[in-house]
Structure 1
């Protein structure tokens, strides 16, 4: 028994530690802010419900008018990010879509439901706005990337509970300069590696803060 423990400590544990740190989850001790206090949303869902970014960890996206044409992007996002994090109480996916695409969004949701964990797509939220309103709102995010001709982008963005848009900026723990404002939904590898790690950092921040401020509430919270 003791021999097995010694072998584990000498050989297995270092490998596990290496894989953990090599995963990239600690590229930054805290995920940097790209844009502070982005505007809240003023638009509604197809059934007239208001949606806010306040007090939610939000994955924010801009679908553009070709929703079904780009359905693979949403499937990637669903499998790599949504299914793994949807049970976190204050987590939501908010997609801004042009008015007129309601039918395609409904079709997309019907396709997402079978592949969503427990067929739960309740945190996939779509709001609708005029193209010019979407362009104006996006400009206020102060990003390097731009919307395409269909008022969409293949990137999605992480927004924290204070409406700060978070990403990678500056020197990481390895001393390398990084800048990443959005996550490329076409690339399953980008979502699986970088975005998944960065979402973990954000969730850890709030778990740690909640535990520090109210240990009993944190134990009861379903995450």
Structure 2
């Protein structure tokens, strides 16, 4: 009897749990759209785009050194988990004049992982403000054009987030100063949006067969 119980715990329960959560993603896992059709980065930097990409958008500001900790948190907790997905990218909107600081940051980040999906776009102050304002959040940029928050932008250029977060209610972004926020919330939400697109792809392929 004891052996049977142990076998159930070790083998059956994990399978049941997996099926439950997999079903939850397929049936209920739709990350809410909070702002539709935000300003495409392509209109500010022609070499980049939000379209057909799952983008993590951030604003590190003019003091790159001061935001290295935020960048490292984001790299370790989110980027390294998802950068191998073909359509995943990270875009940081940077003030012009921060090029040297960004190169130093890239060198340090590259010591941890392949940083080819980290994209840095150098913009004028007015352009950064316009891009941030287009998100239509309840957050504000600091005077140095930075925020510790990063944002999930889907393949259609819509801002995704949470409408009923247990702590914040309406949650537009994720705080890179908080490992808990990245681990416990952002990672889950990125998984949901990736699963959402994988499911849509499977359904489309099924219709074509």
TM-score, with length taken from structure 1: 0.81
- Other-structure match for 2:31: 31
Secondary structure in structure 2 of the residue aligned to 1:69: helix
Number of the residue aligned with 2:44:
43
Residue in 1 that maps onto 2:108: 111
Structure 2 runs not aligned, ≥5 long = none
2:196 equivalent to 1:205: yes
Aligned counterpart, 1:195 = 186
2:130 corresponds to: 136
SS state at 2:65 partner: coil
State the Cα distance separating 1:40 from its structure 2 match: 0.4
The 8 Å contact of residues 89 and 119 in structure 2, kept in 1 or not, is answered as yes
Correspondence for 1:95 among 73, 85, 92: 92
Q: Which runs of 5+ in 1 are unaligned?
A: 218-223
Q: Cα distance 1:195–1:20, how it changes in 2: closer, same or farther (>3 A)? A: farther
**TM alignment of 1:154-173, pairs within 5 A:** 154-170=148-164
Distance verdict in 2 for CA 1:155–1:17, change over 3 Å: farther
The runs of at least 4 consecutive aligned structure 1 residues that moved more than 2 Å come to 2-22
Q: Which has more helix, going by share of residues?
A: 2
Equivalent residue of 1:66, what SS? coil
Kindly tell me the number of residue pairs found equivalent between the two proteins: 202
Equivalents in 2 of 1:145, 1:125: separation in Å? 23
Cα separation, partners in 2 of 1:15 and 1:59, compared to 1, 3 Å: same
Task: Specify the alignment match of 1:85 in structure 2.
Answer: 82
Q: Equivalences for 1:7-18 in 2 at 5 Å?
A: 7-10=6-9, 13-14=12-13
Distance 1:184 1:201 in 2: 18
Q: How far apart are 1:21 and its partner, in Å?
A: 7.8
